[in-house]
Amino acid sequence: MLETRNLDKSFGAVHVTRDVSLKLERGERRVILGPNGAGKTTLFNQLVGELTPDSGSVHLAGADVTALPVAKRARRGLSRSYQKNTLFDGLTVEENLGLAAAVHTGSATQLWSDSLAKPEVREIVEEVAEQVNLTDFLQARVSEVSYGVRRQLEVGVALATRPHVLLMDEPTSGVGPEMAKGFHDLLNNLPRDLTLLIIEHDMDLAFDVADTITVLNYGEVVFDGLPEAARGSSLLKEIYLGSWEDA
Amino acid sequence: MFRHNALRCTVLLLLAAAALFQALTAGYFGLEILTEILILAILVLALDIAAGFGGMVSLCHGALMGVGAYAYAILSAKAGLSPPVAMAAALALTGGCAWVIGAICARSHGIYFIMATLAFGQMAYSYVFEAPVFGGDDGLGGIARLDLSLIGVDLNDSRSFALFCLAVLGAVYGASVLILRSGLGRSLAGVMHNEQRMRALGLTVWRVKADVFGLSGMIAGLAGVLAAQHVMYISPGLLSWTVSGEALVVVILGGLGTLVGPLVGAAAFVLLKHELSALTPHWHLVVGVILIAVVMSRANGIFGWIEACWGGRAERRAAKAVRKQKTKEVLSDA
């Protein structure tokens, strides 16, 4: 469903992505682990087209999308959520979800009708709001809701484009244990045919959700395999998991 | 997204009532001032859609107004087209020009967008100023007004023309609200709040900006057609960047991104100009001081200040109601 072949990216002398090759099957849920500065978010940025790789390619559903801009990749079913909330703060939760749903249904550029009043948009908004537990917040302005609700909305906006592949950059970043538990359910309840690639530091969540785990270190894939194998890997313990295992 | 509230509706009704009263009762001079306000109001509504709701601060809306005026003048007076056809063609041409400008400038932001639109405006001004077909420095005269004799209206009468402009302004305001509440308008709000996220959702951002700039330009062109019909003469000065600058001043003075505010700004600006210019030739200085005061007050123009006062009053009322309720409870407990 999503594949990278020998992706390479440098910023000056800093090599942030080194020859990264990944292959995600349809419906696969993969978690990317790695210490800060390992190049996880830079990899995401290259996957969605916000950064151009120096070399290598990105393939979506078998087609080479390396040269496509962000919007075109999104229209082909590649969606992402951000580590730092990237929402429409002055608008309501409903309007946030509606914007994404309108782009998906093609009503975002229509002049003679209100996209949010369209039945197909409303259907997506209501469905996604239920998925991310935001039904009670639909009329609230984003600027007025809590940080945790915003994190849920961040994922909801990405889901409202009805993606085939969803990239989630630290969905539980900054939320408390109770809210993080809610994210376990949220991720586990997503449709099984949706391909997920998640950057996550919450190990419980990572091992709960992941079918496969990829570990990046200094921009390089140092582990790619099943969660059970990741738990037993001494290399992983050394570069990343030591503190978690000891805890 | 644009929303009407009680205050906006009240101000809108008051403005409409005042304009209608003036149109029905004023003498020739009063009607001329009213028509000037109404045409400026159409131009600043166009600019508010682009700048206030889309973040596209344009310094070429004066030029777009001029394009509309010249297109109408050439097509009706020189090409011999009937005024309604010339008017429709002028609007289409202005909309097309604005769409192209919007598409080219859409990838720039802030000061770069302003400078790019200024360059387009000045290019148009220089060309019209020098091209003989446009009458050069002398401009063009003999421009006819629309013929509405079929419905018994003579637009050559100042009162009828003022009422006609008021009706057009009402229609433009309604169309502006519809644009801002449409799918395109919602997407524009999304782009204004977070362009990067809209792109990541799959929206072709430049296209949305170009479409809205095109529509905004078409409305500016309509203001130009009315201006040409009003004075029945046009000159290159209509395309000058100072006209765009003045429109921007009016939008900021009234209240950016409110639709109602620019209407207040247009009325305030034209009235101030006429009243002050009767007192001093340096009326620009007074308008400048007022503009600085408005900007420094941190209110969003005159309308923003009214909204802030209204909001404060509503808050005080709510607090008073809570106090009253609490006192009642204490008394009943006692």
Q: What is the pLDDT of residues A49-70, one digit of tens each?
A: 999 999 999 999 889 999 899 9
Q: What's the DSSP call for residue B60? A: -
Tell me the CA distances in angstroms from B302 to B53, B255, B265, B288, B295, one per residue in order. 18, 6, 7, 14, 10
Q: Are B170 and B16 in contact (CB under 8 A)?
A: yes
Cβ contact, residue pair A107, B183, below 8 Å: yes
A157 interaction partners in chain B (CB closer than 8 Å): 197, 201
Does residue A206 lie in a domain region? Answer: yes
pLDDT of the residue at B331: 66
Tell if the CB–CB gap between B201 and A107 is shorter than 8 Å. no
pLDDT per residue as tens, chain B (334 positions): 777 888 899 999 999 999 999 999 989 999 999 999 999 999 999 999 999 999 999 999 999 999 999 999 999 988 889 999 999 999 999 999 999 999 999 989 989 999 999 999 999 999 999 888 888 888 888 888 888 888 888 888 999 999 999 999 999 999 999 999 999 999 999 999 899 999 999 999 999 999 999 999 999 999 999 999 999 899 999 999 999 999 999 999 999 999 999 999 999 999 999 888 888 888 888 888 888 888 887 778 888 888 888 876 766 776 677 677 766 766 676 6
Residues 6+ apart with CB under 8 A from B75: B81, B85, B86, B89, B90
Residue A182 maps to a domain:
no
B330 versus A199: the higher-pLDDT residue is A199
**Would the CB atoms of A100 and B201 count as touching at under 8 Å?**
yes
Of the residues A87, A88, A94, A116, the best mutation for testing chain B's interface (the one with the most B CB atoms within 10 Å of its CB) is A88
A28 and A52 share one domain: yes
Residue type, A205: L
> What is the per-residue pLDDT for A233?
76
CB contact under 8 A, B199 and A71: yes
Chain A residues with at least one Cβ partner in B under 8 Å:
48, 50, 69-72, 74-75, 79-80, 82, 86-91, 95, 98-100, 102-104, 107-116, 118, 157, 161
For testing contact with chain B, the best of A103, A142, A157, A164 (most B CBs within 10 A)? A103
Asked if A70 and B208 come within 8 Å (Cβ–Cβ), the reply is no
Residues of A in contact with B181 (CB under 8 A): 114
- List chain B residues with CB under 8 Å of A107: 183
Residue A65, φ and ψ in degrees, nearest 5: -110, 15
- Host domain of residue A229: 1-77+164-177+191-247
Identify which of A70, A108, A110 has the shortest CB distance to residue B200.
A70
Q: How far is A58 from chain B (nearest CA, A)?
A: 16
Same domain, A57 and A95: no
Give the span between the Cα atoms of B57 and B108, in whole angstroms. 11
Work out the minimum CA distance from B186 to partner chain A, whole angstroms.
7
Mention every residue, 6+ apart, whose C-beta is less than 8 A from residue A22: A2, A3, A4, A30, A214, A221, A224
- pLDDT number for residue A246: 47
CB distance B182–A90 less than 8 Å? no
CB-CB under 8 Å, B183 with A74: no
Same domain, A203 and A247: yes
Terminus-to-terminus CA distance in chain A, angstroms? 36
Number of other CB atoms surrounding residue B242 within 10 Å: 12
Out of A79, A98, A114, name the one closest to residue B181 (CB): A114
pLDDT of residue A201: 80
- Residues A81-103: what's their mean pLDDT? 91
Nearest to A90 among B182, B193, B211 (CB): B193
Asked if residue A63 and residue A97 are part of one domain, the reply reads no
- pLDDT tens track for B101-156: 999 999 899 899 999 999 999 999 999 998 888 888 888 888 888 888 888 888 88
| pLDDT for the residue numbered A171 | 84
Q: Quick one: A66 and A172 in the same domain?
A: yes
Q: What is the CATH number of the domain that holds A58?
A: 3.40.50.300
A15-41 mean pLDDT? 88
DSSP state for residue B144 in the 8-state scheme: P
Across residues A12-34, what is the average pLDDT? Answer: 88
H or E, element range at B140: strand B140-141
| B interface residues, A as partner, C-beta within 8 Å | 1, 178-179, 181-184, 186-187, 189-190, 193-194, 196-205, 207-208, 211, 215
For residue B203, what is the nearest residue in chain A, using CA coordinates? Answer: A71
Contacts of A88 in chain B (CB under 8 A): 189-190, 193-194, 197
Same domain, A97 and A153: yes
- What is the per-residue pLDDT across B28-69, written as a single tens digit (0 to 9) for each? 999 999 999 999 999 999 999 999 999 999 999 999 999 999
pLDDT of residue B131: 87
Q: For residue A209, how many other CB atoms are within 10 A of its CB?
A: 23
Question: Does one domain contain both A144 and A168?
Answer: no
With CB atoms and an 8 Å threshold, state whether B197 touches A87: yes
Instruction: Report yes or no on A51 lying in a domain.
Output: yes
Let me know whether A155 and A197 are in one domain: no
Cβ distance B201 to A50 less than 8 Å, yes or no, reads: no
Q: How far apart are the first and last CA of chain B?
A: 49
Contact A99 B198 (CB under 8 A): yes
Q: Mind telling me how many Å the CA of B182 is from chain A's nearest CA?
A: 4
Instruction: Report chain A residues whose CB lies below 8 A from the CB of B99.
Output: none
Does a structural domain hold residue A212? Answer: yes
Whether A184 is covered by a domain: the verdict is no
The three-state (H, E, C) secondary structure of chain A, written as one string: CEEEEEEEEEECCEEEEEEEEEEECCCCEEEEECCCCCCHHHHHHHHHCCCCCCEEEEEECCEECCCCCHHHHHHCCEEEECCCCCCCCCCEHHHHHHHHHHHHHCCCCCCCCCHHHCHHHHHHHHHHHHHCCCHHHCCCEHHHCCHHHHHHHHHHHHHCCCCCEEEEECCCCCCCHHHHHHHHHHHHCCCCCCEEEEECCCHHHHHHHCCEEEEEECCEEEEEECHHHHHHCHHHHHHHHHHHHHC
The H-or-E segment that residue B181 falls in is helix B158-181
Q: What is the pLDDT of residues A228-245, one digit of tens each?
A: 887 777 777 777 655 554
Q: How far is B312 from chain A (nearest CA, A)?
A: 19
Residue A47: closest C-alpha in chain B: B200
- The per-residue pLDDT for B133 is 86
| Nearest-angstrom CA–CA distance, B246 and B34 | 18
Residues A55 and A108 in one domain: no
Q: For A103, which of B182, B189, B201 is closest by C-beta distance?
A: B201
Give A137-148 pLDDT, tens digit per residue: 999 999 888 888
Which residues, including other chains, have CB under 8 Å from residue A176's CB and lie 6 or more apart?
A148
- The pLDDT score that the predictor gives to residue A97 is 95
Name the residue with tokens 């582990």: A223
Say if A185 falls within a structural domain. Answer: no
Diameter of chain B measured on Cα atoms: 90
A171 lies in the same domain as A244: yes
- Whether A201 maps to a domain, the answer reads yes
> What is the number of domains present in chain A?
2
State the DSSP H helix or E strand holding residue B141, giving kind and residue range, or none if neither. strand B140-141
Task: Please tell me whether residues A69 and A170 are part of one structural domain.
Answer: yes
Asked whether residue A127 falls in the same domain as residue A147, the answer is yes
Rounded Cα distance between B53 and B257, Å, is 5
